[in-house]
Amino acid sequence: MDETPHLRQAAMVYPLHLKGITRSFKEGHGRLQVLKGADLTLYPGQIVALVAPSGAGKSTLLHIAGLLERPDSGEVFIGGTPCGKANDAERTRIRRNDIGFVYQFHHLLPEFSALENVAMPQLIRGLERKEALERSSQLLGYMRLQERMDHRPAELSGGEQQRVAIARAVANAPKVLLADEPTGNLDPKTATYVFDALVALVRASGLAALFATHNMELAERMDRCITLEDGHVVEIER
């Protein structure tokens, strides 16, 4: 049975759709199969928690979903666009326009202010400076950083830095936000505050978010919770 029409229909509807993703790595004289046909669909405005033991393939799944790594087989759809046959330049364009990334470490540019850090991806995309700064100001205001816009990263707390990183990640209005332990370096109170800000932004913008975390308290607050078992994505019933 040809499932291509079904895949096309699903891919057109969802911000992120992974189908039959496999990935293995060389290990000694053989290969370690990390993903064995993983399927995943994210819906607009939805936050999904990805929890799994170290070595289960969380980072690999995120890298493939973010077009940072190619699967051995399977397909990645971003907003309906199949990315498997895209060349490096096309993948870079899709990452820049349609995918936002937030990591455990903020990776802000130290010589620029919070406002300039958020504006940077918009300027790279080709937006006029005035428009980029206006949108950046709005996003930082939404993240309750109105009074910190002109501060450089070294002048911000860890929680403030992560909120700037989140604002930067959504500056180009992506379809998908991928977060890899974004609260891992924060104390529990600050982690909750940053998570609340991220949730509010996702709900307001309608993008879809995949949030890898070891924090089960935060995972319980997300719309869905998934894990990786024997190379497959499995829903955790709650």
* The predicted structure's pLDDT at residue 186: 80
Closest CA to 75 of 84, 67, 85, 64: 84
Closest CA to 136 of 178, 172, 105, 97: 172
- The residue ranges of every structural domain in the chain are 16-104+172-235
CATH of range 16-104+172-235; options 3.40.50.300, 3.30.1360.200, 3.40.720.10, 1.10.760.10: 3.40.50.300
Strand, coil or helix: 75:
strand
* The predicted structure's pLDDT at residue 203: 83
- C-beta separation of 153 from 108 below 8 A: yes
Partnered with residue 225 across adjacent β-strands are 49
Tokens for 153? 């990263």
What strand order describes the sheet that includes 99-102? 99-102, 176-180, 208-212, 47-50, 224-229, 232-235
* The predicted structure's pLDDT at residue 40: 95
Which alpha helices (DSSP H) does 55-112 contain, by range? 58-65, 88-98
H or E element: which one contains 224?
A: strand 224-229
Strand, coil or helix: 76:
strand
* The predicted structure's pLDDT at residue 2: 43
| C-alpha span between 219 and 211 (Å, rounded) | 8
pTM given for the model: 0.84
| C-alpha span between 234 and 107 (Å, rounded) | 31
C-alpha angle with apex 60: 57 to 64, nearest 5 degrees?
Answer: 140
**What does each of the 238 residues of the chain score in pLDDT, given as a tens digit?**
444 444 444 444 689 999 999 999 888 788 888 999 999 999 988 999 999 887 788 889 999 999 999 999 999 999 888 998 899 999 999 998 899 988 877 789 999 999 999 999 999 888 899 999 999 999 998 888 989 999 999 999 988 998 899 889 988 889 999 988 887 778 888 888 888 888 888 888 888 999 998 888 889 989 999 999 999 999 988 7
Strand, coil or helix: 138:
helix
- C-beta separation of 64 from 17 below 8 A: no
In degrees and rounded to multiples of 5, residue 9 shows phi and psi of -65, -45
Tokens for 139? 């996003």
Distances from the Cα of 97 to the Cα of 10, 102, 136, 176, angstroms: 21, 15, 16, 10
